[in-house]
Structure 1
């Protein structure tokens, strides 16, 4: 199906002074309250159904059996949340973190900074005894796979998340994350379908590596059925042109998956994924969703099915309430500048520029805004 152009510049926004639905809901589904006629109304039935739909697991190794008590204090800033996107796999297949995003929330809980970590970033992955992993230096998207091993050929994405969190913490200096979520990309598609699509600005021409213009998978070249070819697909390609469009769910998910053929490869894909998150949040906050009880319930249930959540002792309702004053315009997208790491002519992965250490230091002191004044190149293209 062809892209449908939309004349307006972005999704409609609800302009009210009252707290809105679901601050950061597109990130981990904290959709909690219903607005009607400018008044804040809590729908207990919808909230209860949504809270029950979200799967919760110990993602940080903090369960009581691991000798750690669950926190009981209120949610207070500054906060760091780790969000990991994966393709759904069965327990016999090691999970890979295709998208790694950190959300830093300021002390006053009034601004969020989102940055993506390149999946091919070469880092030190610490030892992880639970999976009998001794540690290594390799691409960061391997951490989740190494940490997920249970033995007997089985894997657990939640356990793998724990090692990935430790790896990201070692890179960034974040000692402990305040919350985390594993996001199922197929579940994201269900959320967008429930919303009736998403309006999104496409900032560069992109051809799909995976899908045809009608949304069906492209054919594979003979001999490439087992994923051993870098570019195994042949035939017509779906195309996404610069401009603002209302995308169907399959189009939006296909667009943000692409990295081959882009000038900056995975760095362009990271930007598109961040833009997608923001567009989803705008769409979820629009009148088309928040004032439509049927669509709202469908979005909530789809969000619940897409997530595995760990709020470190607090559920999604607690987190949604804590972040109730955040709006999508309060979300700043960050890019971490870097490039390929080449040794003896061999590509080993990606590396960040030295100034990234200063950015990570700014996270520790909750001074990201000041850092960005001096380093505007870290501001992602909106």
Structure 2
């Protein structure tokens, strides 16, 4: 059965999962490449060491057998990862700059999406496959350390790096990770454009470090960039592909990386609303167009096919999809910055989530719920 022949609800959900994963990539700064390397060109190569992307379609299930994913009852945890890969640099190790967890409790009737700061100080377990002995450092390094292939210093494996990141996130959150997606930034603007852009409420004035008002990249200069800047004014805005990419990567703003995580989650909401409000799932040709825009930018990793998971979540109501912002603070002594840590309120959310009491906890702590 090809994507275009799926039932409408199942079709939008499958597309929605892909959209979630792609947006997740953007928000935590995967395109810091230009800031760090001065390379303003965007290549189309896949992530080094990536596994072959899973096909979107699935064979037609037997009429006498259960539908795909019928045995998935929850809880279900998906790890969505955006990687900083510099395809122009031989042997560059991928860094996880966007780390999101989608938790669907038993019953599959609601879902919670939250981000973990890229600089979160965590215990990364030993990983003999990569020759890593373990240590306490920033979460973003787990993908990098895990990607190292002994004897092949210039051939890092993103799939292998995902294994270590998955173990690290699971250990920190106490959640079993069932499946996930690893993404690069290539093709994101094409995906948003294929959707016709997205409507979002910009909750604060944001000046772009990287783009000019015409969409071209600003020139690099000693200490930063120069030239006119694209500005996103507070209020309702319609963003095209490059604008969505640019807006969601900005972290040198009020609120820093936590504001960037919030903007990322708001974009996820905007894209899923776009899919639902415009009845995209009832237009097979549009669905095919949008999914094809993903190309090799999306790599699915998991024991179950993405189609199985999409079918299992086909009854999830949109109004039970909650975006959660976990507060944090810096860690270090004096001016020596080590990274970030979640506040007690943020850590308690993870405890309550595992215990099945997330709704009650969020009712008592409404500031954690991301609005707009």
Normalising by structure 1, report the TM-score: 0.78
Q: Secondary structure at the match of 1:186?
A: coil
Q: Which runs of 5+ in 1 are unaligned?
A: 1-17, 32-53, 58-71, 223-228
* Contact 1:22–1:320 under 8 Å retained in 2: no
1:240 aligns with 2:232: yes
Structure 2 distance, partners of 1:373, 1:147, is: 38
Structure 2 distance, partners of 1:75, 1:89, is: 37
Aligned to 1:200: 200
Question: Can you list the C-alpha shifts for 1:79-128, whole angstroms capped at 9, x where unaligned?
Answer: 11110012444372111111110011121211110100011111111111
Q: What is the RMSD computed on CA atoms of the aligned residues?
A: 2.3
Aligned to 1:92: 91
Matches within 5 A, 1:34-113: 55-56=53-54, 74-90=71-87, 92-113=91-112
Q: Aligned pair in 2 of structure 1 residues 137, 30: CA closer, same or farther (>3 Å)?
A: closer
Question: Can you list the C-alpha shifts for 1:352-382, whole angstroms capped at 9, x where unaligned?
Answer: 1123332222222222112212222322233
* Contact 2:180–2:301 under 8 Å retained in 1: yes
1:356 aligns with 2:357: no
Structure 1 distance, partners of 2:351, 2:20, is: 28
1:253 aligns with 2:245: yes
Q: Secondary structure at the match of 2:95?
A: coil
Structure 1 distance, partners of 2:329, 2:19, is: 33
Q: Aligned pair in 2 of structure 1 residues 24, 368: CA closer, same or farther (>3 Å)?
A: farther
* Contact 1:80–1:102 under 8 Å retained in 2: yes
TM superposition shift of 1:76 = 1.6
Question: Can you list the C-alpha shifts for 1:337-360, whole angstroms capped at 9, x where unaligned?
Answer: 111113133111111112333222
Structure 1 distance, partners of 2:369, 2:279, is: 30
Normalising by structure 2, report the TM-score: 0.80
Structure 2 distance, partners of 1:73, 1:289, is: 25
TM superposition shift of 1:310 = 2.2
Q: Secondary structure at the match of 2:187?
A: helix
Q: Mean Cα displacement is larger for which, 287-296 or 199-208?
A: 287-296
Matches within 5 A, 1:96-135: 96-135=95-134
Give the number of equivalent residue pairs: 318
1:306 aligns with 2:297: yes
Q: Aligned pair in 2 of structure 1 residues 184, 144: CA closer, same or farther (>3 Å)?
A: same
* Contact 1:110–1:330 under 8 Å retained in 2: yes
Aligned to 1:316: 306
Structure 2 distance, partners of 1:235, 1:30, is: 33
Question: Can you list the C-alpha shifts for 1:170-198, whole angstroms capped at 9, x where unaligned?
Answer: 11111x21111112222322211211211
Q: Which runs of 5+ in 2 are unaligned?
A: 1-7, 22-51, 56-68
Q: Aligned pair in 2 of structure 1 residues 318, 295: CA closer, same or farther (>3 Å)?
A: same
Aligned to 1:64: none
Structure 2 distance, partners of 1:116, 1:247, is: 22
* Contact 2:19–2:268 under 8 Å retained in 1: no
Q: Secondary structure at the match of 2:293?
A: helix
TM superposition shift of 1:210 = 0.8
Structure 2 distance, partners of 1:319, 1:124, is: 30
Structure 2 distance, partners of 1:124, 1:216, is: 40
